[in-house]
Amino acid sequence: MNTTDLLIGRKRLGSAGSGGRPSTAAMLRFCPEHGITADIELLPSSQVNTALDRLGRNDVRYRFVLDMSDLD
For residues 1 and 7, the answer to whether their CB atoms sit within 8 Å is no
Q: Kindly report, residue by residue over 22-65, the tens digit of the pLDDT.
A: 888 999 999 999 999 999 999 999 999 999 999 999 999 989 99
Is there a domain that residue 19 lies in? no
Is there a domain that residue 23 lies in? no
Global confidence as pTM: 0.53
Is there a domain that residue 31 lies in? no
Question: DSSP characters for 10-27?
Answer: T--------S-HHHHHHH
Is there a domain that residue 8 lies in? no
Q: What is the pLDDT of residue 1?
A: 62
Is there a domain that residue 68 lies in? yes
Give the structural domain span for 66: 38-72
Is there a domain that residue 5 lies in? no
Is there a domain that residue 2 lies in? no
For residues 50 and 43, the answer to whether their CB atoms sit within 8 Å is yes
For residues 1 and 71, the answer to whether their CB atoms sit within 8 Å is yes
Is there a domain that residue 51 lies in? yes
